[in-house]
Structure 1
Amino acid sequence: MLGSKRPVFRPTAYDYSRRKRRIPRWLVLMLTGVIIGAGGLLFIQTSYGPTRLTVEQSEQLHFDLNSANAENQRLQSQLSQTTRELEETQTSLKSQQSSLDNHDQIVDGLKKDIELFADAMPADPRGTSPGIRSASFSTSDGKLNYNILLMQDKEQADHTFTGEMHFNIQGRYPNGRTGYIDLEPVEVSVGRYAHLIGDVTLPDGVSPRQITIQIFEPGNKRAKAMRIINIR
């Protein structure tokens, strides 16, 4: 009996032998994939992703963002103010344009009135063009003040006449002596008409009694127009 190799007695038919449990291959592959994926994601974020900010950088970023928002609000307010000013300027320009149009209408009416009066003005006694249609004088502070209307005929109004106006004065000095004085010439330019208002200096103590007005063309010694005005 000691030398026989009989199988060991098993108590029951349901007994079983223990086997070593191994990790399933599919779980190993899944865990390996997760580890590789996480490592790859970390590598990509580290190498190619945005740089993570430090606390100081984050605070500076927030400060810059708040400053940009404040500047944007300021610019928006300034834009609104500029827009209002632009609208007010446009309104003012429209009002000024309306006033200008009204002014132009008034000027056109005045031009027509002046043309009507010009046609009705008495002609120069000598019948010249340009002619001395009206003239008046006064004296003050040693000066001779003049108010003279020169006119050309309507047919010649497109041509501007340029020349000089001369005054020859017959006057009396304080000692009673009478003399003739030529004053400094005055440049004139006449289209349809020219209203000349001004003054010329008189010699000391002279009281004008008669003034001869002469209009000369440049380079011509013959008077183009002449008129004698008595002063009382």
Structure 2
Amino acid sequence: MFGRNKPVVFDPYGRRRSRWRMPSWMVWLLTGTIAGIGGVIYLQERHLPPRLSQADSAALRNAYDKAESERQRLQAELASTQQQLNAALAAKKTLDAELAASRSATQDLRADVATLVDALPPDPRDNGVEVRAGRFNASGNTLAYDVVLTRNRAGAKPMTGVVQFVVAGESAHGGPNTVSPKPIPVSIGTHEIVRGNVALPEGFKPRQTTVQVLDREAGRSLGMRVMLVK
């Protein structure tokens, strides 16, 4: 009765003021966002590999840089090796061509030698092995020789034997003497050229050489011929 009178608000429409409510689309948006973030966190923690720390990332980067540097080094070595291989192949091709030319020249030379041997005068003794020609030159205490041997009935397989020289001449004291150097092994196909030199005694003067072809040392005679020493 004696209190203060409160103002009376007049609302002609008689409506009450309602509270603000969040729209449903925003509720769904926030719910989806939270669910997505939670799903990502769940996958990272449960199924995906653990995330690297800064130190692990730096170590991984260093390892990658080293691997890349090694790859580049190996690639450079591979290129260098490829160049060396190409050079070796080119050199081999050149050597093959030179070898083929050398073989062709050797075959031609053998054919020429065979032709010259056929043109030599025959051995008058007509043995199984003929001494077709020979040259003996004395110089000091050395006797140089070149002897051409042929076979009348040469087979596919070469025949082995020895050549024995018996050198006749004058000794240092002026009397006659003979020298028989060590036998020389030979292998005779259709023809064979024996070339070399033998040592003579001091002061010995050779006059002639008997060429003996034997099947072995001190064995059966296959051919013989006497030739002068120049």
**TM class, shorter-length:** 0.7 to 0.9
Does residue 171 (structure 1) correspond to residue 169 (structure 2)? The answer is yes
The number of aligned residues is 223
Instruction: Measure how far apart 1:186 and its partner are.
Output: 1.4
User: Could you state the TM-score of these two structures normalised by the residue count of structure 2?
Assistant: 0.82
SS at match of 1:198: strand
> What corresponds to 1:70 in structure 2?
69
> What corresponds to 2:100 in structure 1?
101
Task: Say if 1:79 and 1:219 are closer, same or farther in 2 by CA, change over 3 A.
Answer: closer
Q: What does 1:178-197 correspond to in 2, within 5 Å?
A: 178-197=176-195
Q: Conserved in 1, the CA contact under 8 Å of 2:214 and 2:220?
A: yes
2: CA distance between counterparts of 1:14 and 1:195? 146
> What corresponds to 1:35 in structure 2?
34
Counterpart of 1:89, as a letter, is A
> What corresponds to 1:87 in structure 2?
86
Task: Say if 1:67 and 1:40 are closer, same or farther in 2 by CA, change over 3 A.
Answer: same
**Matched residues, percent identical?**
30
1: CA distance between counterparts of 2:87 and 2:207? 61
Counterpart of 1:46, as a letter, is E
SS at match of 1:171: strand
Counterpart of 2:110, as a letter, is K
Q: Conserved in 1, the CA contact under 8 Å of 2:136 and 2:228?
A: no
More deviation, 134-143/159-168: 134-143
2: CA distance between counterparts of 1:172 and 1:33? 129
> What corresponds to 2:3 in structure 1?
none
User: Could you state the TM-score of these two structures normalised by the residue count of structure 1?
Assistant: 0.81
Task: Say if 1:181 and 1:19 are closer, same or farther in 2 by CA, change over 3 A.
Answer: closer
Task: Say if 1:209 and 1:111 are closer, same or farther in 2 by CA, change over 3 A.
Answer: closer
Give a deviation string over 1:82-102, Cα, whole Å, max 9, x none: 222222222222222222232
1: CA distance between counterparts of 2:178 and 2:92? 58
* RMSD (CA atoms): 2.7
Task: Say if 1:182 and 1:158 are closer, same or farther in 2 by CA, change over 3 A.
Answer: same
> What corresponds to 1:142 in structure 2?
141
2: CA distance between counterparts of 1:210 and 1:147? 14
Structure 1 residue runs of 5 or longer lacking an equivalent are 1-8
Structure 2 residue runs of 5 or longer lacking an equivalent are 1-7
2: CA distance between counterparts of 1:124 and 1:43? 110
Does residue 230 (structure 1) correspond to residue 224 (structure 2)? The answer is no
